[in-house]
Amino acid sequence: MQNYKIIIAYDGRRYKGYRKTKTNSEQSIQGKLEAILYKLYEKDIEVISAVNTDAGVSAHYQVVNFHAPDIGMDEKGIYEYFETYLPDDIITLSVEKVDERFHSRYLARQITYTYRLWKKNAPRRPLFERQLVNVMDKPLDVTMMREGAKVFLGSHDFAAYATKSKSGSTIKEIQSMDIEETDVEVIITMTANGYLLNMERYIVGTLIQIGFLERKVDSIHRGFKTRDNKDVGHKAMAHALCLKKISYE
């Protein structure tokens, strides 16, 4: 069996996330990829992602891998096969044969997301960007948001900043968090060693409320302490979140 590493990008707005379930195969990124591989190999092939992006979330850089029989097709051939059958909102960036021990998820060390907020006082309404930004209905205090971002840095128990799931440890490390302001946008970029379900969106929702001066920076610590979702901000909308980079050691 040959292990293949593929880097893909996708517009996730019409999909119910990366992960395939019994009911959403046609509406998941994984389902689309595995259907193409079934045509090629005439057998079920599992495609593992570095991150299971949520419904509506896009990716500029997602890493997946799969093990399949070596049928004599090189990387270029597999790349062209995917590009022939993928829908317009999913593209292949590269295909590479890798060591059989490579695992896109377990070996990932840094995962970076961006979240785009369109400012209430921007000089124009969003046009081409409107499908990929969260339009604010109040001005944001970016200075306070940056103070909040500092509190999230490091290792913490993020149980309160996530949708409950059956995943293991709720301890995650936020390695960096930057907040950039332009004339029209506030762009939050965060890098972590991993994320709980919807963790990115609850962090952003908390920072938005801090930016609205509806929540104090110190309230972030309360969420870490109580592990209660009631003590954190709202879950920010999915469509403005984008997976940007996966790094491996």
Domain of 19 in residue numbering reads as 2-98
Query: How many other C-beta atoms are found inside a 10 Å radius of the C-beta of residue 89?
Result: 15
In the predicted structure, residue 249 carries a pLDDT above the cut 90: no
29: left (phi over 0), alpha (psi -120 to 50) or beta: alpha
Q: Across the strands, what pairs with 37?
A: none
Residue at 230 is within a domain: yes
**Predicted TM-score (pTM) of this structure:** 0.94
Boundary residue ending a domain (43, 70, 98): 98
Domain count, the chain: 2
18 and 53 together in one domain:
yes
Distance CA 161, CA 155 (A): 13
- CATH number of the domain at 67, please: 3.30.70.580
Which residue reads 């592990």 in tokens? 227
Q: Would you name the residues annotated as active-site residues?
A: 54
Residue-wise pLDDT for 90-101, tens only, equals 999 999 999 999
Tokens of residue 38, six digits: 């079934």
127: left (phi over 0), alpha (psi -120 to 50) or beta: alpha
Residue-wise pLDDT for 193-207, tens only, equals 999 999 999 999 999
Residue at 184 is within a domain: yes
Which residue reads 């597999």 in tokens? 78
Tokens of residue 44, six digits: 């079920």
